Amino acid sequence: MADKRFFRCNVCNDIHYGISGPEICPTCQAKNAYVEIDKEEAKKVMGL
Ligand SMILES: [Zn+2]
């Protein structure tokens, strides 16, 4: 079972949780814009 991780779009700050970041952001359509972030950063971006 592969570990799921958090990824953030560096264009629109959309958060994706999964095995890898989407190739194209579903929110802003940027290509390869997702960078892996840690759990704490994901919480901050999501305002938790
Ligand atoms: Zn985006």
Is the pTM above the cut of 0.95?
no
Count of domains observed in the chain: 1
Phi-psi region of 29 (alpha: psi -120 to 50; beta: other; left: phi over 0): left
How close is the Cα of 8 to the center of ligand 1, in Å?
8
How close is the Cα of 42 to the center of ligand 1, in Å?
15
Kindly report, residue by residue over 20-46, the tens digit of the pLDDT. 999 999 999 999 999 999 999 999 988
How close is the Cα of 12 to the center of ligand 1, in Å?
4
DSSP 8-state code for residue 40 = H
Domain boundaries, position 22: 5-45
Q: What whole-number distance in Å separates Cα of residue 1 and Cα of residue 25?
A: 25
Tokens 């194209």 locate to 24
- Residue 16's CATH number: 2.20.28
> How big is the chain by its Cα radius of gyration, in Å?
10
**What is the pLDDT at residue 7?**
97
How close is the Cα of 43 to the center of ligand 1, in Å?
17
